[in-house]
Amino acid sequence: MKARSPPPFDPWLWLQACQETWLAALDPLRVGRRLRQQRLKRLIDTAIRDSPLYTRRAPRARTLADFEPVGKAELMHHFDDWATDRRITLSGAESVVRSDAVADAWLDRYMLWTSSGTSGEPGIFVQDAASLAAFDAIDALRLRSADPTQPSLGLWSMGRRFAYVGAIGGHYAGYVSIERLRRIVPAPWRPQINAISILDPLEEVVGQLQALQPDVLITYPTYAVTLASCQARGALQMKLAELWLGGEQLTTRQREALRSAFGCKLRNNYGASEFYSIACECERGRLHLNDDWVVLEGLDARGRPAPAGEFSHVTLLTNLANLTQPLLRYELNDRVRFVASPCPCGSALPIIEVQGRCDDVLELPGTRTDTVALLPLALESVLEEDAEVMQFQLLLRPDHVLELRLPHTGAGTRQAFRRCRTALLAHLVRQGARPLRVVLGNDEFMHRGGSGKLCRVIDLTRDG
């Protein structure tokens, strides 16, 4: 059996990132801004010098505004010219993604994770040691800390039991990060983290959590709300110290339901595969942008800066930590707005509000229970992983028929639909839901709400 390669971890870069992140939190307006400008200049210089893609796109760039926005599809199409390390190729990355080498170092120094996102465009992201160190520092000093001026590495301390309920088994950002943590922390201090798949039937997940009795639960808001309903009716009895949330938008109603059911502290994170911790929530429930490590721009429908206090039409992200796979003015699907008023928590890091994922949980009749909740992220994982379809929209119609909409590409559409139908029906059986008709829709993808965002899983029974 081939020996596994340890996950990338550079102690010096980690210490440096922790020190700089701590200092920037103490003085965001001076230290934080200075670090931001230094990192941005280094990123621009490195990208136009060492990335053939960016050399072509902006050969004389001096400022961030000199770069045109770029999307995931273009970056993936030019993957071999994207990275500043010329050994990084799409074929090599795909071979790692197809393997079970989760959290293993690739090319001795990098880690890979994948994302499709709401756009349905698959992406492979290369994380170098510097970006991993930045994520570690943000996680320890801002996301998990009760006091952003004090280090809090002890939150991952021994003696605490953690349960991670999410997409596991693949090279997903959350799962890879959990596996990396388990492997880089020395045994005496290694946290006890149990990973549970969201694709498992709900009653099995509830049984595992009931047996584990974790101190900290890590999951998505939609799944946390589903577990909260189990807790409220007595099917689950957990005494959580903390609930860590990410991967989806956390609404006010969800927050109230979670606090009512679990009565514990919530720690919410806004992030993406492109940058793991874009903003962290303070104790007042405000999202503070980590703008010493990331630049976030909100643009209106004409590509101009969105007016203050208004939600953007598109959001651009620049990752200041990663010099190996540069991201400059990268298009996110989320809409953001900046809040001008200071936060009562005292932090001077900018406050943002996010309109992010807006998919629905589908409530279907069950074979063993009255209803079964099907999580959007689980349904998306089934279609992406089992049916190998990335672009789709799934709707639960008022006549209780599942309508699947796909891009119309001739004969390939019918073949893709058959794979999707088989995967969906198998998932319904595993979850204990009654079988439903699955039909291929003829209409274009549907955009819902004022945001115009494309939802991938929609419950039309609620829209009337």
| Among the ranges given (44-48, 109-113, 372-376), the one the predictor scored with the smallest mean pLDDT | 372-376
Q: What is the rounded CA–CA span in Å between residue 131 and residue 110? A: 10
Note the CATH number of domain 11-355: 3.40.50.12780
Q: Is the dihedral of CA 330, 336, 339, 345 positive or negative?
A: negative
Answer yes or no: CATH 3.30.300 is held by domain 362-462: yes
Mean pLDDT of all residues in 181-185: 89
438-442 long-range CB contacts below 8 Å, 24 or more apart?
438/401, 438/402, 438/403, 438/404, 439/401, 439/402, 439/403, 439/404, 440/403, 440/404, 440/405, 440/406, 440/413, 440/414, 441/393, 441/395, 441/403, 441/404, 441/405, 441/406
Q: What is the rounded CA–CA span in Å between residue 231 and residue 222? A: 14
Between 203 and 144, where is the model more confident?
Answer: 203
Mean pLDDT of all residues in 25-54: 96
Q: Is 452 left (phi over 0), alpha (psi -120 to 50) or beta?
A: left
- Residue boundaries of the structural domains of the chain: 11-355, 362-462
Write out pLDDT tens, residues 428-448. Answer: 999 999 989 999 998 888 865
Mean pLDDT of all residues in 323-352: 92
Write out pLDDT tens, residues 389-405. Answer: 878 899 999 999 999 99
Query: Residue 167 pLDDT more than 70?
Result: yes
Residue closest to 404 by CA, chosen among 453, 443, 448: 443
Mean pLDDT of all residues in 328-348: 90
Query: Residue 76 pLDDT more than 90?
Result: yes
Q: What percent of the chain clears pLDDT 70, i.e. is strictly above it?
A: 92
Query: Residue 105 pLDDT more than 60?
Result: yes
> pTM of the full predicted structure?
0.84
Query: Residue 452 pLDDT more than 80?
Result: no
pLDDT band (50, 70, 90) for residue 120: low
Query: Residue 150 pLDDT more than 60?
Result: no
What pLDDT is recorded for position 376?
A: 85
| Among the ranges given (30-34, 182-186, 256-260, 416-420), the one the predictor scored with the smallest mean pLDDT | 182-186
